[in-house]
Structures are given as structure tokens and as C-alpha cells.
């Protein structure tokens, strides 16, 4: 979904779900990168707010 429809309003949520899966798999660096992409690509969205909060927890 992320690649096929990058402008869909659900993409930030899908990317956060991806980051959660990466964290559960022990891929902390990949999860951080995914969350940073949400913040950069979708500023001002609820997804960006959630991603910012998760990034703060990872530090």
C-alpha cells in the first residue's frame, strides 16, 4: 500500500504499523528510519505526531 498509493491518507498509519513490526523484530534502526520518514513526508498529520512520540521513546 505504501508504495502503490503514497498519497493515500492511511499511509502514515501503515508506516507506523511497519515500524512497530520492525521494532518487534529487533530492527530498531529500521524502525527509527521509518518513523523519521513519516515525520518528514507527512508533517502536520496525526501519524507524524504519533511517529514523533515513538521516536522520543526510542532515544
Q: What single-letter DSSP state applies at residue 42? A: S
Check residue 59 and give its pLDDT: 78
3 occurs within a structural domain: no
Alpha-carbon gap, residue 59 to 4, rounded angstroms = 31
53 occurs within a structural domain: yes
45 occurs within a structural domain: yes
With H, G, I as helix, E, B as strand and everything else as coil, classify residue 47.
Answer: helix
- Which CATH number belongs to the domain containing residue 54 in this structure? 1.25.40.10
Alpha-carbon gap, residue 6 to 21, rounded angstroms = 19
15 occurs within a structural domain: yes
Number of domains in the chain: 1
Residue-range definition of the domain harbouring residue 18: 11-58
2 occurs within a structural domain: no
1 occurs within a structural domain: no
36 is written with which cell numbers? 523519521
Check residue 2 and give its pLDDT: 86
Could you read off the pLDDT tens digit of each residue along the chain, which spans 59 residues?
788 998 899 999 999 999 999 999 999 999 999 999 999 999 999 999 999 999 999 87
Amino acid at each position: 500500500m505504501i508504495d502503490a498509493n503514497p498519497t493515500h491518507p492511511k499511509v502514515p498509519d501503515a508506516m507506523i504499523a511497519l515500524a512497530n513490526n520492525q521494532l518487534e523484530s529487533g530492527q530498531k534502526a529500521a524502525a527509527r528510519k521509518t518513523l523519521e520518514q513519516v515525520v518528514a513526508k507527512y508533517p502536520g498529520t496525526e501519524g507524524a505526531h504519533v511517529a514523533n512520540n515513538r521516536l522520543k521513546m526510542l532515544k
